[in-house]
Amino acid sequence: MSEHFIESENLCYSYRVGNGKEDVPALKGITLTVEKGEYVAILGHNGSGKSTFAKLLNQILEPTSGKLIVGGTDLSGGELSDEEILSLRRRVGMVFQNPDNQLVATIVEDDVAFGPENLGVPQPELRKRVDDALLTVGMQDYAAQEPHRLSGGQKQRVAIAGILAMRPECIVLDEATAMLDPAGRREVLDTVRMLNRQDGITVLNITHYMNEAALADRVIVIHDGKLLLQGTPDEVFARRDLLRQVGLEVPQCSELIHRLRAERIPLEGDRISDPDGCADMICRAFGMKDREEKSHG
């Protein structure tokens, strides 16, 4: 039995610009659900409204209209009390794009402690939480370091530890890998994957990297403030032409399968988001005969 962690219905948000005279809609009626413990990727090009969606989830922005329920708290039903907002932000942790602009303290462990300190977690519980969180993201050896001496991937892992120390139910990555190099990106993705699998933390990865979306259980594509497409990575990548229209590209392997099918090479199967799946499909089409021929020759 699964349970909804996020439930939105016809969710809208407009930015006020020009001294509140003009409304610029960023979200135009989003209806979706995210289950507890799910790993969801939200895809969209820059300006599609995907980051706005993230900011609504922990009440950094308030919905203009529509329904939004996160972790049982109704965010669209008027004013929330301070305690409700704090409890919401504790449960839904955010990792942002620029690793430099989210670390507060001059020492790694002090930064990890920042969230629980704000929540008033007493000692020795606080110390334990900080040590556990650093251990989980594999940064225990850097506890006494200064953040500016760390690499981008390490900084983001410290940011994740800072969230873990608040004992969250959900982690939202708001383009958290956009400024990282491939190694840093892998560090961060491996970490959240492990948190999702081992601790059942719900993960929302907002990104425009298709290779990252392929790692998710489910992909949601947002375009122009609306939900365009959702499904498993295989299902979504199968809509290659639609994705291209909205400025997104499928991973190279999926692209190859599309192109080969267009060449009338019969490829059977649908595991197009996984390189191994693609390899299987191609081998099948070329037949084991190919291998036999070789051994004969």
Partner 1 sequence: MKSVVFGQYYPADSFIHRMDPRAKVILSVLFIVCTFLCRNAVSFFLMTAAALCLVLLSRIPVHLVLRSIRPLILILIFTSLINVFMTKGEMLLTPSWNIPLPWGKTWSIRIYAEGLWNAAFMILRIFILLIGTSIFLSFTTTPIAMTDALEQLFSPLKKIKIPVHDIAMMTTIALRFIPTLLEETEKIMNAQKARGADFISGGLIKRAKALLPVLIPLLISAFNRAYELATAMECRCYNGGEGRTRLKVLQLRFSDVLAILFLIAFVVGIFFLNRLGLIYTMK
Partner 2 sequence: MDKILLRDVCFIYGKGTPFEKCALDHVNLSIKSGRITGIIGHTGSGKSTMMMLLNGLAKPTSGSVLIDGYDIQSRPQDVMQEWLLKEPYAGMRRSAAKRAIKQEIERRRRQLCFRVGLVMQYPEYQLFEETVYKDIAYGPSNMGLSKEEIRDRVLSAMRQSGLSEKLCEVSPFDLSGGQKRRVAIAGVIAMRPEVLVLDEPAAGLDPQGREQIFGEIRDYQRETGSTVILVSHSMEDMAQYCDDLAVMAHSKMILQGTREEVFAQTDLLETVDLDIPQITKLIQKLRQRGLNLPANIYTVDGAVAALRQLYAQTETGGREE
CB of 247 to partner 2, least distance (A): 4
Spell out the SS3 assignment of 97-120: CCHHHHCCCCCHHHHHHHHHHHHC
Which amino acid does the sequence have at 62?
E
User: Which lies closer to partner 2 via its Cβ, residue 119 or residue 179?
Assistant: 179
Restricting to residues 82-141, which ones interact with partner 1 according to CB under 8 A?
82, 86, 89-90, 93-94, 96, 98, 100-107, 109-110, 113-123, 126-127, 130
* Residues at the contact surface with partner 2, assessed by CB under 8 A: 45-47, 97, 151-152, 178-179, 181-184, 208, 210-211, 247-249, 251-253, 255-256, 259-260, 263, 265, 275-276, 278-279, 282-283, 285-287, 289-291, 293-294
- How far is the C-alpha of 151 from the C-alpha of 162, rounded, in Å? 17
Closest to 93 (Cα-Cα) out of 205, 18, 4, 259: 205
**Residue 147 interface partner, choices partner 1, partner 2, none, CB cut-off 5-8 Å depending on type:** partner 1
Applying CB under 8 A, among 6, 75, 166, 228 the residue interacting with partner 1 is 166
Task: Name which of 148 and 294 has its Cβ closer to partner 1.
Answer: 148
Closer to partner 1 by Cβ: residue 34 or 161: 161
Alpha-carbon torsion (13, 16, 22, 26), positive or negative: negative
Give the nearest distance from C-beta 102 to partner 1 in angstroms.
4
Residues 6+ apart with CB under 8 A from 119: 86, 90, 166
Residue among 4, 110, 92, 19 at smallest CA distance from 56: 92
Starting from the edge strand earliest in sequence, which strands make up the sheet with 65-70, in order? 22-35, 4-17, 65-70, 73-74
The option from partner 1, partner 2, none interacting with 69 (CB < 5 to 8 A, set by class) reads: none
Binding at 103: pick from partner 2, partner 1, none (beta carbon under 5-8 Å per type): partner 1
CB of 280 to partner 1, least distance (A): 42
For position 213 contacting partner 1 by CB under 8 A, the verdict is no
Report, in angstroms and rounded to the nearest whole number, the Rg of the chain calculated over CA atoms: 22
Rounded to whole angstroms, the Cα distance separating 281 from 270 reads: 9
Asked if 171 contacts 204 with a C-beta cutoff of 8 angstroms, the reply is: yes
* Separation of CA 272 from chain center: 21
Task: Give the nearest distance from C-beta 246 to partner 2 in angstroms.
Answer: 9
> Which listed option, partner 2, partner 1, none, makes contact with residue 276 (CB within 5 to 8 Å by class)?
partner 2
DSSP state of 69: E
Query: Running DSSP on this structure, what letter comes out for residue 147?
Result: G
Pick 118 or 245: Cβ nearer partner 2: 245
Q: Which is nearer to partner 1, 37 or 168 (CB)?
A: 168
Min dist CB 277 to partner 2, Å, is 10
Q: Is residue 65 a contact residue for partner 1 (CB under 8 A)?
A: no
Q: How far apart are CA 83 and CA 68, in angstroms?
A: 18
| Binding region for partner 1 (CB under 8 A) | 58, 60, 82, 86, 89-90, 93-94, 96, 98, 100-107, 109-110, 113-123, 126-127, 130, 146-148, 162-163, 166
